[in-house]
Amino acid sequence: MNFKSITNKKIFIFFLLIPLSLGLLSFLLTKDGIASVKLLNKPSFYPPNFLFSLAWTIFYILMGVSSYFVYQTMSFHKTTCLAIYALNLFLLFLWPLIFFNLQARLFAFIFIIFLDLVVFYMILCFLGVSKKAAYLQIPYFLWLIYASVLNFSIYFLNR
């Protein structure tokens, strides 16, 4: 194994750990608030709780892989794309705090719509740099749209 291969593996792991660590920290900061959702009226299409953990773990892994693909390119725009990705991570970290801890469901809905737009823009940016990176974000974007509908439904059913 050569030095470049070892370095690339370390960089890859670093890119995986960024979203996974933020996801874990977000969960730890909101687990009490998450538990309180059991008391709320939820729409009929609300998924089982285990699906949230599984889905978000997959999405965080896909984000890490995707951001690594962007980082590895020689594109002039990769810095811009990674900055948008960082904004996505920051907003994604804040949304559960707003929804679960602050219980500001309407504001959380407005906030997640903004996050949807940022992720859409991120996918477009990634598309210009690495098609693989962009395609890996589509499941996350679709889940985020679903989460937006859930957010609004929970707000509406519990106002």
Amino acid found at 82: L
* Distance (Å, whole) CA 119 – CA 51: 21
Domain annotation covers residue 38: no
Domain annotation covers residue 80: yes
Domain annotation covers residue 26: no
Q: What is the pTM of this model?
A: 0.93
pLDDT truncated to tens, each residue of the chain (159 aa)?
555 676 789 999 999 999 999 999 999 999 999 988 999 999 999 999 899 999 999 999 999 999 999 999 998 999 999 999 999 999 999 999 999 999 999 999 999 999 999 999 999 999 999 999 999 999 999 999 999 999 999 999 999
**What range does the domain containing 141 cover?**
9-21+49-157
Query: In total, how many domains does the chain have?
Result: 1
DSSP states along 79-126: HHHHHHHHHHHHHHHHHHIIIIIS--HHHHHHHHHHHHHHHHHHHHHH
Domain annotation covers residue 28: no
Amino acid found at 22: L
